[in-house]
Amino acid sequence: MFETVLIANRGEIALRVLRACKELGVRTAVVYSAADADSAVVRLADQAVRIGPASSRRSYLNAAAIVEAARQVGAQAVHPGYGFLSEDADFAEICADNGLTFIGPPPAVMAALADKSSARALMSRAGLPLSPGSVAPVPNAAAAAEVAEAVGYPVIVKATAGGGGRGMTVVHTPGELRRAYARTRAAAQAAFGDDRVYVERYLSEARHVEVQVLCDSHGNGVHLGTRDCSVQRRHQKLVEEAPAPALPAAVLDTIAETALRGALQVGFVGAGTLEFLVDAEEQFHFLEINCRIQVEHPVTEMVTGIDLVHEQLHIAAGVPLRWRQEEIHLHGVAVECRVNTEDPDRDFAPTPGRLERFTPPGGPFTRVDTHASAGYLIGPWYDSLLAKVIVWAPDRELALNRLERALDEFVIAGPGVHTTIPFVRRVLDDAAFRKGRYTTGLVDRLLAAPAAAPAQRPTATPAPRPASAAEPDVTHRRTR
């Protein structure tokens, strides 16, 4: 195992990785920007190195500064978390060139898989089913139109270097395609420095199901079951659960086994996630592979009892995989919701500000991953994720009830600060979601419908009711 690991990230994932390192007896070093000087992870790390101002480009995306920090603290490895440089093959190669272990797949594998078009080609050769569309990038709007005509509308134009829900445009009619193609290429160039795009059939009412895999450098691999991530807005996930509900066990097993086979055949190493779309006929189509720890990894940890960050560290240190497939068992149901500092009533606009009150929920089988506390300043510089609330229960209905209870307990208050909790409650109340028969169209449907006003708890002791009075039918007992 490594003596010292440098954590090249911030927020809740930096704290999550720090805790895993400490539990394994590994010294921790973190990099931080000027905006994060007072953060919890800086306070708890064994060493901390300031690498730049608040701007991500001059701090958490500054590969040279991060590598220099790793050399200063004597680190043997770098954990990139998620986002920032976590799937940057050039950064992984720079780490290797400087004698540092990048905790993730080898640079060449990452480079091939980070390119969505290349990943589709590799997975197709490995026997994974793809959504109908182009495998190679389409060079111009005319070629895109040919693909769209062949597979049928609607289609989605995707950046080959895209990620995190960016670089995608859904096209419903031929008249929209030329402009959408040009707009997506321009956005891809601006965001990723790569304007290549491909086109595939858009499945508007599909399930987004993903599979967690662990693969070592000795050719061993296991899958840890499925997650459902269909609750998403503009391709950004809001609620995740494990295992994926309301699909036959045989279908889920086939998806998971296919995912593992694909990961092993392309030489993947580390903790990765293969994402699929499952259509109304329960046919599944490979979407992409993520070469990093996922935001939603806790739901898999809750149903398997396996610490995924621990496994990342062991695999990166060259330890053979500590699990065999027959030793992986799923127990119960776990659900996670992301708490973002955004205002759902203003098109989810970010709401920076200082937290005057911050009290996470507690109780049995309730986990909160957060870097925040009372007094914490939510700045405008980074992602709006403030916390993740994860619950476990023996069955799905109890898990959803437990999540509702946890959200009722969560106190977050500060001038101008709003969160996505009210919208998550709408998701949890939706009849299709409660039945586990929802699709990626759920959020758009809820946003198109007026929000029901929440019922209020009484603020004073109510007057006694006559014995014959019927109890009211109360489905919400919330105040926010």
Check residue 55 and give its pLDDT: 96
**Domain boundaries in the chain?**
4-103, 132-201, 207-448
Rounded to 5°, the CA angle 259-264-267 comes to 130
Pairwise CA distance, residues 361 & 343, whole Å: 21
Check residue 453 and give its pLDDT: 57
Check residue 205 and give its pLDDT: 85
Residue-wise pLDDT for 381-401, tens only, equals 999 999 999 999 999 999 999
Kindly give the pairing relationship between strand 411-413 and strand 166-171: unpaired
Average pLDDT of 39-62? 97
Using 50, 70 and 90 to split pLDDT, how confident is the model at 463? Answer: very low
Check residue 311 and give its pLDDT: 98
Which two three-digit tokens encode residue 119?
């990943």
- Residue corresponding to tokens 């920032």: 84
Average pLDDT of 8-14? 98
Pairwise CA distance, residues 434 & 394, whole Å: 16
Catalytic residue among 201, 292, 338, 367: 292
Check residue 451 and give its pLDDT: 67
pLDDT of 473 over the 60 cut: no
Check residue 22 and give its pLDDT: 98
**3.30.1180.20, 3.30.1490.20, 3.40.50.2000, 3.30.450.20: CATH of 132-201:** 3.30.1490.20
Check residue 456 and give its pLDDT: 46
Pairwise CA distance, residues 312 & 102, whole Å: 11
Pairwise CA distance, residues 417 & 352, whole Å: 6
Residue-wise pLDDT for 131-167, tens only, equals 999 988 999 999 999 999 999 999 999 999 877 678 8
Average pLDDT of 26-36? 98
Taking all residues of the chain, what is their mean pLDDT, rounded to a whole number? 93
Average pLDDT of 407-423? 98
Rg (CA), the chain: 23
Percent of the chain scoring above 70 in pLDDT: 94
pLDDT of 442 over the 90 cut: yes
Least confident of 157-171, 316-330, 456-470: 456-470
- DSSP H helices in 249-325: 249-265, 297-304, 308-316
Average pLDDT of 254-267? 97
The closest alpha carbon to 282, from 331, 249, 324, 315, belongs to 249
Q: Note if 480 is an active site residue.
A: no
Q: Domain 207-448 - what CATH class?
A: alpha beta
Residue-wise pLDDT for 331-360, tens only, equals 999 999 999 999 999 999 999 999 999 999
Least confident of 3-12, 77-86, 185-194: 185-194
pLDDT of 76 over the 70 cut: yes
C-beta atoms surrounding 359 within 10 Å? 12
DSSP state at residue 346: G
Residue-wise pLDDT for 192-208, tens only, equals 889 999 999 998 889 99
Domain 4-103, architecture per CATH? 3-Layer(aba) Sandwich (3.40)
Using 50, 70 and 90 to split pLDDT, how confident is the model at 224? Answer: very high
The closest alpha carbon to 206, from 106, 124, 282, 318, belongs to 282
pLDDT of 471 over the 70 cut: no
